[in-house]
Amino acid sequence: MINTTGRIIKSVGGFFHVEAPDGVLLCTARGLFRLKKITPVAGDNVTVEIIENSPVITDILERKNYIVRPPLANIDAAIIVISTVEPAPNRLILDKLIAIFESKEIEPVPLFTKIDKKEEEELREIYYKAGFTVFSVSNESGEGIEELRAFLKGKTCALVGNTGVGKSSTLNSLFPELALETAEISKKLGRGKHTTRQVELYGIGENSYIADTPGFSTVEAAKYGELASEDVALCFREFIPFLGKCKFGGCRHTKEDGCAVIAAKERGDINESRFDSYVRIFEDAWAEERNYK
């Protein structure tokens, strides 16, 4: 008999913390999931049955989206955290993450941190003009924190970004009661130590959750997902008005004559650094596809 439904808010060592109407249940999962190579993850909506006096996850309800690494499901927005300094912004990584989340129909939201040390108005303007909701915060002064907190209400969001950009510090500024562990930046390496080792959804209000995800190095960004070369242009939202208007069919929008996207870039309708990221991401995807043939 089905006893209840709930949402996984944390998984550790094969046990799942499920937030149910009557409280949080510590559950195991049916062995059937392993046979089907399905793993319940934080964010999953599940059904729970009491089997031999223990709560067991017996079904995973349909997901609206899913990230493999870090494992998360049913996310409304990905808050992509970019430090203005220490470490310096990496535009390619930012654009690749945005494209990946666009492909999964997860709203990408650039968040610039450490603005008390260095402003990044140019970068902020690039993404604002491209049609994104953009935030800037200082975890020292609290600037921008209230605006970000208001955005999170009623949503399930994940903070993602390179190691050391200030994800946990931002969460602590937003919700001090969480008291998350943070680490100092390694001056020698120019990056932070890993402080988040698992994915956990924190309840931050009615129907509001936020996840602090493990930091990653530059080369690990692809773990969030891969893109097919034919889909990359669709993941750059400012390209969309110009797609299908190129002189020749099958245009790759990289260097072709009569390309409407390139013409838009030359007019200033598409930012040059965003276009450069597109070309790099497209060419990497194209080369990877050729290697598998």
The per-residue pLDDT for range 123-150, each reduced to its tens digit, is: 899 999 999 999 998 888 888 899 999 9
Q: Mean pLDDT, to the nearest integer, of 193-200?
A: 56
pLDDT at residue 231, as a whole number: 95
Q: Mean pLDDT, to the nearest integer, of 76-85?
A: 91
Structure token digits, residue 54: 């223990």
Task: Give the C-alpha separation, 27 to 29, whole Å.
Answer: 7
Q: Mean pLDDT, to the nearest integer, of 229-252?
A: 95
Categorise residue 28: left if φ over 0, alpha if ψ from -120 to 50, beta otherwise. Answer: beta
pLDDT at residue 188, as a whole number: 40
- What is the number of helices (H) and of strands (E) in the chain? 7, 15
- Is it the case that residue 90 has pLDDT exceeding 80? yes
CA distances (Å), origin 35, targets 11, 30, 81, 105, 258: 19, 10, 36, 28, 51
* pLDDT above 70: percentage of residues in the chain: 88
What element of type H or E holds 101?
A: helix 91-103
Asked, as a colleague might, if the bond just before 214 is cis with ω within 30 of 0, I would say no
pLDDT at residue 196, as a whole number: 42
- Is it the case that residue 237 has pLDDT exceeding 90? yes
pLDDT at residue 225, as a whole number: 67
pLDDT at residue 35, as a whole number: 82
Q: Estimate to the nearest angstrom the gap between the alpha carbon of 40 and the chain centroid.
A: 19
- For the chain, domain boundaries: 2-60, 66-224, 229-291
Q: Mean pLDDT, to the nearest integer, of 225-253?
A: 94
Contact indicator for 259, 251 with CB cutoff of 8 Å: yes
Alpha helices by DSSP H, listed for 104-202, are 121-129, 145-152, 167-174
Task: Give the C-alpha separation, 15 to 290, whole Å.
Answer: 41
pLDDT at residue 161, as a whole number: 82
- Is it the case that residue 276 has pLDDT exceeding 80? yes
Q: Mean pLDDT, to the nearest integer, of 40-63?
A: 94
Domain 2-60 matches domain 229-291 at the CATH topology level: no
Task: Give the C-alpha separation, 42 to 32, whole Å.
Answer: 19
The mean-pLDDT minimum among 21-35, 191-205, 247-261 falls in 191-205
Task: Give the C-alpha separation, 93 to 185, whole Å.
Answer: 20
The CATH number fitting domain 2-60, selected from 3.40.50.2300, 3.30.379.10, 1.10.1060.10, 2.40.50.140 = 2.40.50.140
pLDDT at residue 37, as a whole number: 84
Q: Mean pLDDT, to the nearest integer, of 248-264?
A: 95
182 vs 151 pLDDT, higher one? 151
pLDDT bin (cut points 50, 70, 90) of residue 293 is low
Smallest CA-to-CA distance from 162 within 73, 232, 96 is with: 96
Q: Mean pLDDT, to the nearest integer, of 241-245?
A: 96
Fold classification of 229-291 (topology level): Ribonucleotide Reductase Protein R1; domain 1 (1.10.40)
- Is it the case that residue 214 has pLDDT exceeding 60? yes
Largest Cα span, the chain:
69
Residue 220, SS3?
Answer: helix
pLDDT bin (cut points 50, 70, 90) of residue 195 is very low
- Is it the case that residue 219 has pLDDT exceeding 60? no
Statement: 66-224 belongs to CATH 3.40.1080.10: no
pLDDT bin (cut points 50, 70, 90) of residue 218 is very low
Task: Give the C-alpha separation, 272 to 132, whole Å.
Answer: 17
Q: Mean pLDDT, to the nearest integer, of 81-108?
A: 91
The mean-pLDDT minimum among 157-171, 251-265, 268-282 falls in 157-171
Task: Give the C-alpha separation, 132 to 4, whole Å.
Answer: 38
Mean pLDDT over all residues of the chain?
A: 86
